[in-house]
Amino acid sequence: MILEAQGVIKRFGGLVAVDDVSFGVREREVFGIIGPNGAGKTTLFNVITGFYKPEKGRIIFQGVDITGKKPNEIARIGLTRTWQIVKPFLGMKVLDNVLVPIYVKRGILRGISEREAIERAEEILEFVGLSHRRDFLAETLPQGERKRLEIARALATEPKLLMLDEPAGGLTPTEMDEVMEVVRKVRESGVTVIVIEHNMRVVTGICERIMVLNFGKKIAEGTPEDVARNEEVIKAYLGERFHVGG
Ligand SMILES: Nc1ncnc2c1ncn2[C@@H]1O[C@H](COP(=O)(O)OP(=O)(O)OP(=O)(O)O)[C@@H](O)[C@H]1O
Ligand SMILES: [Mg+2]
């Protein structure tokens, strides 16, 4: 397992947002986290990546206990996340958006020339299909391209494990396909991916295994097909759109 969460509890006052959740992610798989609104998915991401300290439980990344470590320390050892509401530097050019995390990662640690950094940024833009936007301001990009720019910025930190919070949220079907293609390529490049996603077409299209959260609790885990047939999962989603292929 590249990542293990053991008995994680995170409370906000009286609300138990993450309620004794344990799971493991295998190296080089795409692991999905689904669940209705408010189920605790983003909170769990925030605990894993060090933005919140859990009241209980442990997070083990590559055999190292990272519970309570700071987000930048966690990113430095290879665990990077994106945000549900994407936050590129809107007033900056697309290329510069990717250069910043490259300099943060390489500039300080090993030293990198400007030319090397630009080449690396261009490679990453090519990888996510944004070469044609290199010199555009980030604010001019449509939502689907902003989501891919966010993934590009995360890749610039050279993660071993990439955690994506609703990378297809609010996108058109075509934009979703483009994001799915990027996720597949990321995984083929040897990076493990955890993805929070609502859309079952996206989930079944990219995830080997998924875990379902409801009111902070894990209620199911398995292949997308198994989970979609699980009675408790279907109950949790009553009133919401939830069907494989939809
Ligand atoms: N900083 C916070 N302070 C207080 N309550 C919070 C905080 N963050 C989240 N919550 C609450 O914790 C619960 C879980 O929220 P979370 O954002 O993790 O859900 P989610 O599964 O990501 O939902 P969505 O699908 O809408 O993104 C919700 O009831 C939410 O209101
Ligand atoms: Mg969320």
Residue pLDDT, tens place only, 217-244: 999 999 999 998 999 998 888 756 555 4
Q: Is 79 part of a structural domain of the chain?
A: yes
pLDDT single digits (tens) 147-198? 999 999 999 999 999 999 999 999 999 999 999 999 999 999 999 999 999 8
Q: Is 176 part of a structural domain of the chain?
A: yes
* CATH code of the domain containing 20: 3.40.50.300
Q: Does the Cβ of 14 fall within 6 Å of ligand 1?
A: no
Sheet with 217-222: list strands edge to edge: 79-81, 161-165, 192-196, 30-34, 209-214, 217-222
Q: Which domain holds residue 138?
A: 3-236
Nearest residue (by CA) to ligand 1, atom 25, is 37
Instruction: Kindly give, in sequence order, each residue whose CB lies less than 8 Å from that of residue 165, ignoring residues fewer than 6 positions away.
Output: 41, 42, 45, 81, 82, 83, 84, 196
Over its C-alpha atoms, the chain yields an Rg (Å, rounded) of: 18
Question: Residue for token digits 């300290």?
Answer: 53
Q: Does the Cβ of 41 fall within 6 Å of ligand 1?
A: yes
pLDDT band for position 84 (cuts 50, 70, 90): confident
Q: Please tell me the distance between residue 165's alpha carbon and the centre of ligand 2 in angstroms.
A: 7
Q: Is 208 part of a structural domain of the chain?
A: yes
Minimum-distance ligand 1 atom for the alpha carbon of 166: 27
Beta-bridge mates of residue 146 = none
Total domain count, the chain:
1
Nearest residue (by CA) to ligand 1, atom 30, is 38
Q: Is 244 part of a structural domain of the chain?
A: no
Q: Is 242 part of a structural domain of the chain?
A: no
Q: Please tell me the distance between residue 198's alpha carbon and the centre of ligand 2 in angstroms.
A: 10
Q: Is 246 part of a structural domain of the chain?
A: no
Minimum-distance ligand 1 atom for the alpha carbon of 18: 14
Closest-lying ligand to the alpha carbon of 217? 1
pLDDT band for position 87 (cuts 50, 70, 90): confident
Q: Is 127 part of a structural domain of the chain?
A: yes
pLDDT single digits (tens) 89-116? 888 999 999 999 898 877 655 678 889 9
pLDDT single digits (tens) 35-71? 999 999 999 999 999 999 999 999 999 999 999 999 9
Q: Does the Cβ of 13 fall within 6 Å of ligand 1?
A: no
